[in-house]
Structure 1
Amino acid sequence: MASYKPTKVQAYPKLGERVTEDTLYWKNYKAPVLIKEFGAVTKIEFSPQPPHNYVVTASTRIQVYGPHSQEPLRSFTRFHDTAYGGSFRGDGKLLVAGSEEGLIRLFDISGRVALRQFTGHSKAVHVTSFLSDGYRVVSGSDDLSCRVWDVASGTQLSSFTEHTDYIRAVASSRLNPDLYVTGSYDHTVKLFDVRVGGSVMTMQHGHPVESVLLYPSEALMVSTGGRYVKVWDLLKGGQQLVTLKNHHKTVTCACLSTTDNKLLTGSLDRHVKVYNSSYKVVNTFDYAASILSLSVAPDDDVIAVGMTNGVLSVRHRKHTEDKQEVLGKKRRTPTYRVFIKGKNYMPKHDDFLVSKTVKPHLQKYDKLLKSFQVSKALDATLESWRRFKKPEVTVAVMMELNRRGTLKNALAGRDEKSLTTLLLFLIKNITDTRFSNPLLKVADMVTDLYYDVVPQSPVVERLLQRLMELLGREAELQQELLQVLGILDTLFASLTPRKGVSGPVAPPIMQGTQLQAA
């Protein structure tokens, strides 16, 4: 009896994403280095001055790391409760942070004891930042107020209570030391001017605002909250320019890269997305847990991401020196020679060759096909991981069933769950040019078998109707393509030179015009 031949899965060309310069630039990072912190990492910020150390705020500690260090260079642990919003001054020498106690502490980066302690907030201070002059600090608190403090004297200079909910985002202007932006859970973003004594512009984000940032020109501002990232034009009175909806969960943080000011956003859906100047996603970084904080080094060499599980993920850019070092390493060790020993040996004329029978390994669907369980074989190829990762296997089994003449038997007699899975697979892949030809035949059989079956569930009816619409649209497209092919055949035939006539023959319309002119 002949042995069973496994189902031959056809190799289809992969439909890869379009590779651009932005894609290559943002894929040029090494595997992430993971550092375990003491709690959820709520804030990361890089120093604007070389060597671009970065401060990490997590639990009751604020720690300073070097760009290539896995151990903190400096730790500030003078907090009795959770610390928030660690932020550098422009010269990288001072550090300010809020806390759950409502206190704001100012640290010297080379010391350990707080230089100043600002008291005045009655609730937790989640965000702090230096104004661009370096002599004042702005803070936002859960007591609904944002306040400006004098660094030298430690006194409060101004207080604004225009927000009606928690203030969780602050961004200071680098061009004007009297301007800063705040974002609140009351769904608003406000631009404050210390000289005026209040806000000069208000924008409605529509969701609780988690972060705000200003572009270097400060003509544009970005706010994140809910699933949305919104870009505002400050020169036009806070007019909304773009709304981005690329995340599936709350967008918690955003930052800008040095190269062309590319926008990066992090979300609770565990993704960091990179946008180009047209606000199209050019790259996505995946992480193991929800993202709370994100920052990029001023030279784009390091991307640091903080997550809810207390893990700090750091990615470093690849350089040509690293590639040359890898290429220069000797990969062939003595163990390599041992493993390949005899691999290239050619048998001689007098050698006696003993062949060992290798038992072929059959996939689950092949075992079921071998025992003529056609319906279960099709179900095995419709498992979630296979139909999403390798749809060509499902299509190959359908083609094999059709060749055997048992495809209709495999499709018939299905319950609501298995029929829904089959219809979803057809709807997703029937318009794929790689699979459309065999799947059109399968779709025709499915509609013949189940379209008039009574009773049907609302889900199945809706999916069948959608499949019929796709089939109708596909038929219209093919008819239009046939018309285009007919027009092209006519044009090519009219341009083909005839025997005894040099050069192309004019189309019939042009010939008639020439005869009338003659």
Structure 2
Amino acid sequence: MANYKPLVVQSLPKLGEKVTKDTLYWKNYKAPIQIKEFGAVNKIDFSPIPPYNYAVTASSRIHIYGRYSQEPIKTFSRFKDIAYCATYRDDGKLLVAGCEEGSIRLFDIGGKAPLRQFEGHTKAVHVVDFLSDKYRIVSGADDYSSKVWDIPSVTEMVSYKEHTDYVRCGCASKLHSDLFVTGSYDHTVKMFDTRTEKSIMTIEHGHPVESVNLFPSGGLLATAGGRYVKVWDILKGGQLLVSLRNHHKTVTCLCLSSSGQRLLSGSLDRHVKVYSTTSYKVVHSFNYEASILSLALAPEDETLAVGMTNGILNVKHRKHEERESFHRKRRPAYRTFVKGRNYLPKQEDFFVSKPVRNHLKKYDKLLKSFQVSKALDVVLKTPERVNPPEVTVAVMQELNRRGTLENALAGRDERQLRRLLAFVIRYVTDSRFAPVLINVAELIIDIYMPVAGQSAVIDKQFVKLQNIVEREIDYQGELLEVLGMMEALFATMARKKPSPLEENKMDSL
């Protein structure tokens, strides 16, 4: 019996993403380092001074990590319950955090015990930040109130209670020492001036507000809540500039790049989106394995840290071109690898050949033994990272060439048919696979239409397949109409070149 020839999978062009400067810039990070925390990571904050350590708030602890350390270099654990929102002061010497008990604690980076403890909130404090004068702290809590505290005297200076729901986010202005912003689950964002008794501006976001961020210029404000990221012009009384809806679930955190030209948003849909602050279009996207609660960028975007609901801290460090070029110079020269490539054996040389054994894939073994139905099941069950859709389509094409495709599709139970229909629905409109999958879809309809109506799930898949095909036919019809109009337009615009005889007549005239 002749040797079995393995199935040849046709290589098809990949539909890759467009490579831009942002793609190269944001992909220039090393493989991530993952650190397991004791609970969900609710805040990450980088120190504003070298060596740019960062504070991670998770569970009842605050861990301080060095730039490249995978173990905490310092821990603040004087909390009885969950800690929130550990934030550095502008000089990097002090750290302030809220907690579930309703108190606010101020730490010296060089010590362990709290320097100050502020009491006044009756519920959990989720928002703490330093005003830009460095001697006052602003806080927001689940008791609907926002307060301003004086650090030297440990006293409450002013209190606001204008929100009607939990205050869960806020930030202080870096340019004005009396301005700060708070966001609440009552769908509003309020701006306060510590010299006044009431808020000076109220913005209606439309959803429970999870994060707010003031731009470095102080004139723009970004808010996140629900599936929306919105940017407001503060100088024009809180006018809405743009509303972005690029996430599938609630947006939980916002962050600006060091240049202020890129805005990052993290969401429960496990994605981090990078927006251009000029066009507000998504220029890059990161994908993570769990829902995102917090993110932060180090100065010069050297490090990207992301905290997730499962307690994983994901840290990426930027590659250094100098180190890369240094190592590149030390690698062996190209001639080392091609040495002996053009060597020709002499007459007295003995050539020893080793037989190469071809290891067949599982579907090839089944095809070799004529188990066509099982071969199709194997490629449909295997994840796409192992067997891409090109392999499944190649198996279907081989079965069609053998004339056994109809036998392989018949006799399937509900689970197998559901998996087969899901594959066809997903790729039937892909131009690379359409010729094969259209034939497969027709055979499936012919085989299983007499038993339609026995399974609600299968019936829904058939209806979905019908809708997808009808929509694709409409698209193709519209495309042909557009092509016809373009051809007619180009025909009228084209100028007919005069013949040589006509040119001679023109010259004689």
TM-score class, shorter: 0.7 to 0.9
Structure-2 change in CA distance of 1:377 and 1:42 (3 Å):
same
- Residue of structure 1 equivalent to 2:97: 97
Match of 1:417 among 409, 415, 418: 415
- Residue of structure 1 equivalent to 2:403: 405
Structure-2 change in CA distance of 1:402 and 1:496 (3 Å):
farther
1:292-303 paired onto structure 2 within 5 Å: 292-303=293-304
**SS at 1:392 equivalent:** helix
- Residue of structure 2 equivalent to 1:446: 444
Tell me the distance in 1 between the aligned counterparts of 2:486 and 2:122. Answer: 78
Query: In the alignment, is residue 5 of structure 1 matched against residue 42 of structure 2?
Result: no
Is the 8 Å Cα contact of residues 452 and 459 (structure 2) preserved in structure 1?
no
1:321-470 paired onto structure 2 within 5 Å: 321-330=322-331, 348-351=346-349, 353=351, 355-383=353-381, 385-386=383-384, 390-451=388-449, 453-470=451-468
Is the 8 Å Cα contact of residues 106 and 115 (structure 1) preserved in structure 2?
yes
**SS at 1:222 equivalent:** strand
**SS at 1:299 equivalent:** helix
Tell me the distance in 1 between the aligned counterparts of 2:476 and 2:268. Answer: 43
Map Cα deviations across residues 260-310 of structure 1 (whole Å, 9 max, x no partner): 431112233433222223333333333344433211113111112223444
Per mean C-alpha deviation after superposition, the further-off stretch among 41-50 and 75-84 is: 75-84
Is the 8 Å Cα contact of residues 102 and 125 (structure 1) preserved in structure 2?
yes
Map Cα deviations across residues 352-406 of structure 1 (whole Å, 9 max, x no partner): 5555444432222222222222222222222251399611111111111111122
- Residue of structure 2 equivalent to 1:127: 127
TM-aligned CA deviation for residue 136 of structure 1? 1.5
TM-aligned CA deviation for residue 409 of structure 1? 2.3
Structure-2 change in CA distance of 1:503 and 1:77 (3 Å):
farther
TM-aligned CA deviation for residue 97 of structure 1? 1.7
> RMSD over aligned Cα, in angstroms?
3.7
For 2:295, give the aligned amino acid.
Answer: L
Map Cα deviations across residues 112-131 of structure 1 (whole Å, 9 max, x no partner): 44332222122222220011
- Residue of structure 2 equivalent to 1:512: none
Is the 8 Å Cα contact of residues 429 and 469 (structure 2) preserved in structure 1?
no
- Residue of structure 1 equivalent to 2:506: none
TM-aligned CA deviation for residue 322 of structure 1? 1.9
Per mean C-alpha deviation after superposition, the further-off stretch among 19-28 and 480-489 is: 480-489
- Residue of structure 2 equivalent to 1:516: none
Tell me the distance in 2 between the aligned counterparts of 1:270 and 1:74. Answer: 29
Map Cα deviations across residues 291-335 of structure 1 (whole Å, 9 max, x no partner): 332111131111122234444332221122121232134469xxx
Tell me the distance in 2 between the aligned counterparts of 1:82 and 1:244. Answer: 32
TM-aligned CA deviation for residue 156 of structure 1? 0.4
TM-aligned CA deviation for residue 12 of structure 1? 0.6
**SS at 1:303 equivalent:** strand
- Residue of structure 2 equivalent to 1:118: 118
Is the 8 Å Cα contact of residues 82 and 100 (structure 2) preserved in structure 1?
yes
Gaps of 5+ in 2: 504-509
Is the 8 Å Cα contact of residues 127 and 140 (structure 2) preserved in structure 1?
yes
TM-score normalised by length of structure 2: 0.85
TM-score normalised by length of structure 1: 0.84
Map Cα deviations across residues 52-81 of structure 1 (whole Å, 9 max, x no partner): 332222344334334344454544344344
Structure-2 change in CA distance of 1:404 and 1:37 (3 Å):
closer
Tell me the distance in 1 between the aligned counterparts of 2:61 and 2:502. Answer: 83
Per mean C-alpha deviation after superposition, the further-off stretch among 124-133 and 480-489 is: 480-489
Tell me the distance in 2 between the aligned counterparts of 1:42 and 1:238. Answer: 28
Query: In the alignment, is residue 222 of structure 1 matched against residue 231 of structure 2?
Result: no
Query: In the alignment, is residue 246 of structure 1 matched against residue 239 of structure 2?
Result: no
Is the 8 Å Cα contact of residues 270 and 290 (structure 2) preserved in structure 1?
yes
Tell me the distance in 2 between the aligned counterparts of 1:350 and 1:15. Answer: 53
Tell me the distance in 2 between the aligned counterparts of 1:82 and 1:432. Answer: 50
Structure-2 change in CA distance of 1:471 and 1:368 (3 Å):
same
Question: How many residue pairs were aligned?
Answer: 500
- Residue of structure 1 equivalent to 2:147: 147
- Residue of structure 1 equivalent to 2:280: 279
Structure-2 change in CA distance of 1:155 and 1:467 (3 Å):
same
- Residue of structure 1 equivalent to 2:62: 62
- Residue of structure 2 equivalent to 1:179: 179
TM-aligned CA deviation for residue 343 of structure 1? 9.7
Is the 8 Å Cα contact of residues 40 and 312 (structure 2) preserved in structure 1?
yes
**SS at 2:299 equivalent:** coil
Per mean C-alpha deviation after superposition, the further-off stretch among 347-356 and 123-132 is: 347-356
Structure-2 change in CA distance of 1:2 and 1:504 (3 Å):
farther
Gaps of 5+ in 1: 506-518
Per mean C-alpha deviation after superposition, the further-off stretch among 362-371 and 29-38 is: 29-38
Structure-2 change in CA distance of 1:479 and 1:297 (3 Å):
closer
Is the 8 Å Cα contact of residues 497 and 503 (structure 1) preserved in structure 2?
no
Structure-2 change in CA distance of 1:240 and 1:394 (3 Å):
same
